Amino acid sequence: MDKFTTLTGVAAPLNMINVDTDKIIPKNYLKTIKRTGLGKFAFAEMRYDESGREKPDFVLNQGPFRKASILVAGTNFGCGSSREHAPWALLDFGIRCVIAPSFADIFHNNTFKNGILPIVLAEARVNQLLRFLLELPGAEITIDLPAQTVKGPDGQTDTFEIDAFRKHCLINGLDDIGLTLEKAAAIKAFEIRSASERPWA
């Protein structure tokens, strides 16, 4: 998992509430267990028409937002089913951070495990950011995870809360496998000891 420390990038405004995981990655794209290749299907039903052509009015199809690395959205982002393909699709598109007033719990947990930082800001502030981004397409936001700050395109800096363990994992690029590998020496020592004490096992 890639480390996350600071990020300055174009922020895309997704001015919608209750964006569920089926909107993020429709169910017909869940057949794969690969984490790559799903970015082109992120928000597929909103991005493409029935012929597979891009819908020009959808935000991620618009020039400045095609390379967005930050997504700003409404309340209850990531609700619906628990599919882990949702953060996979966002990450493969290039999204490393989602800012919203609230997140669905399972999606919130899955983002951390996949190297995406979910930031909760007050709804009034999120609405301000949405307005700025709609008025100034291509505007950037800066995220400083160690300092736990968000600097908006208007120059205002806000702080956010994050669990200390999750912060540690993101900064150090540790997913569940990485955390296990941190204990590799202890695991190897146990295996050697166990083989000596229980040669029949």
Read off the pLDDT of residues 111-157 as tens digits, 9 standing for 90 and up: 999 999 999 999 999 999 999 999 999 999 999 999 999 999 999 99
Give pLDDT tens digits for 11-51.
Answer: 999 999 999 999 999 998 888 888 889 999 999 999 999 99
Per-residue pLDDT, 32 = 82
Give the distance from CA 66 to its chain's centroid.
Answer: 16
What domains are defined for the chain? 6-173 (3.20.19.10)
Contact 8, 150 (CB under 8 A): no
pLDDT more than 90, % of the chain = 80
- The whole-chain average pLDDT of the chain stands at 92
| Residue 6: φ, ψ to 5° | -125, 155
Q: Roughly how many angstroms between the first and final C-alpha of the chain, as a whole number?
A: 34
Which residue in 62, 104, 8, 33 sits closest to 43, CA to CA?
62
